[in-house]
Amino acid sequence: MYLRPTDVREANIRRVFRVLLARTRCSRAELARSTGLSSVTAGRVVEEMIEAGLVTEAAAAAAGGVPAMGRPPRFIALASRPRFLGVEIGVRETRIAALPLAPPPEDAAMRTVATPDSVPAFLAELRRARLALGLRDSEAILVSVPGVVDQATGTVLVSPNLHWTEGQGLLKGIGALGVGTVIAVQEVQALALGHQAAEGTSEDFLLLDLAEGVGGAVVLQGRLLGGTVALAGELGHTPVMSNDRRCGCGAIGCLETLASRRGLLRSFREAHPGRRLDWDGLRHQVTRAGIEPWLDRAIDAVGAGVAGAINLLGVGRVVVTGDLPSLHPDVIGRLETSIQEHSLLGRFGRVRCVAAPRRRWLGLVVAASERLGLARPGERRALHLAI
Ligand SMILES: [Zn+2]
């Protein structure tokens, strides 16, 4: 394929951006090594990114406060100026933060509110949060949505645990706030983008999130699998035979009814009649008692569902985020064994299953970089969300 000089330039900028997302900061020499660019090209790209306000360069503080001999080393990092209003809609809590086009800092200004139960209440909360965060001119509002989103029309098609978000009202309402372009990302897709960026990995993986809901996303050949309607990896709504629990999506027997927080609490109560625990109580119970049969059955149901996905996709790496891995140190190993037993890959190779933190903020930042474009920060590209 013939590449125009501008294509090469944009690809180089994106390479530098990706390395800085994963490494937080590095020297010019490290940057050239990690991107595979010549030091001259890497230097030119860095100068351009500094001019565009995408990166900053600063002298490294000398160790122990002792001045270093000679010229102090200088480090390059992505600029930390907040540019976006980020919104993570959760089943119970919603977090709102001012985000830079960089890994969100630990101390990012943030507000956490109980998730409202209607569009008007949600928009009112968003207005208040924006004022409190003091973010006057954001370039875009980045929204992670738990549910199936049609990005072309800004419609939440289905949200099993937050039905009030369904339809066009939510994203259209956010667009009408005038906070900037709305970029909506299905939440597990955001987790996959965040994981990929933080690890700087080019490996294929299936990300499985087990929390209030159960969802998945797939990265194949470096790219997130999916179209404008992100459905690939939605393992939570796969039926489990002989499970007769009704799911929030309207179906009966979904994996989510066994492996979500609510599902696990219900299984515990069924196994221990008369004992009612909240989530923290359940965690203490599992820490003390280990993986009891009720939990083992839930893990095995997840393992069987994941094995089906692995057989279909040919992916051998499973990244697990959310609540289930935090229940007990043995959970990930047990899940890995289950997937190994149920998948064809397990007959001759090895399935790898790892726990990972949830990186939704970073995923939203990556989605913004892709949809708004990096190469010409002043000139916005055609945007995908027509609202
Ligand atoms: Zn379901």
Altogether, the residues listed in the chain come to a count of: 387
> Which residue ranges make up each domain of the chain?
5-61+69-78, 84-191+360-372, 204-355
Q: Are 151 and 385 in contact (CB under 8 A)?
A: yes
Flag whether pLDDT at 235 surpasses 60: yes
**Please, which residues bridge with residue 110 across strands?**
97
- How many angstroms does the Cα of residue 167 sit away from the middle of ligand 1? 18
Residues contacting residue 146 through CB under 8 Å, at least 6 positions apart = 89, 90, 91, 159, 161, 162, 165, 186, 187, 212, 213, 215
- Which comes out higher in pLDDT, residue 213 or 2? 213
Looking at domain 5-61+69-78, its CATH class is: mainly alpha
- How many angstroms does the Cα of residue 84 sit away from the middle of ligand 1? 33
Flag whether pLDDT at 233 surpasses 90: no
Q: Write out pLDDT tens, residues 130-182.
A: 889 988 778 899 999 998 999 888 899 999 999 999 999 999 999 998 888 89
pTM of the model: 0.90
Rounded to an integer, the average pLDDT of 233-244 is 93
CATH homologous superfamily of 204-355:
ATPase, nucleotide binding domain (3.30.420.40)
Flag whether pLDDT at 227 surpasses 80: no
- How many angstroms does the Cα of residue 216 sit away from the middle of ligand 1? 13
Q: Supply 171's token pair.
A: 């994203």
Average pLDDT, the chain: 89
Q: Of 156, 35, 54, which Cα lies nearest the Cα of 100?
A: 54
Q: Are 214 and 317 in contact (CB under 8 A)?
A: no
Residues contacting residue 228 through CB under 8 Å, at least 6 positions apart = 150, 151, 152, 384
The DSSP line for 30-68 is: HHHHHHT--HHHHHHHHHHHHHTTSEEEEEPPPGGGPPP
Q: What is the per-residue pLDDT for 378?
A: 47
Q: What is the per-residue pLDDT for 332?
A: 97
- How many angstroms does the Cα of residue 234 sit away from the middle of ligand 1? 10
- How many angstroms does the Cα of residue 239 sit away from the middle of ligand 1? 8
Q: Find the range with the poorest average confidence among 17-31, 185-199, 281-295, 365-379.
A: 365-379
Rounded to an integer, the average pLDDT of 192-211 is 93
Q: Write out pLDDT tens, residues 26-54.
A: 999 999 999 999 999 999 999 999 988 89
Q: 84-191+360-372: which CATH number, 3.10.20.880, 3.40.640.10, 3.90.228.20, 3.30.420.40?
A: 3.30.420.40
Using 50, 70 and 90 to split pLDDT, how confident is the model at 104?
A: confident
Maximum CA extent, the chain: 72
Q: What is the per-residue pLDDT for 67?
A: 55
- How many angstroms does the Cα of residue 252 sit away from the middle of ligand 1? 7
Q: Find the range with the poorest average confidence among 97-101, 104-108, 111-115, 317-321.
A: 104-108
Flag whether pLDDT at 3 surpasses 60: no
Q: Supply 76's token pair.
A: 């390059």
Flag whether pLDDT at 69 surpasses 90: no
Q: What is the per-residue pLDDT for 107?
A: 80
| Common-topology check for domains 84-191+360-372 and 204-355 | yes
Rounded to an integer, the average pLDDT of 75-103 is 92
**Top-ranked range on mean pLDDT: pick from 31-35, 59-63, 302-306:** 302-306
- How many angstroms does the Cα of residue 34 sit away from the middle of ligand 1? 43
- Which comes out higher in pLDDT, residue 127 or 59? 127
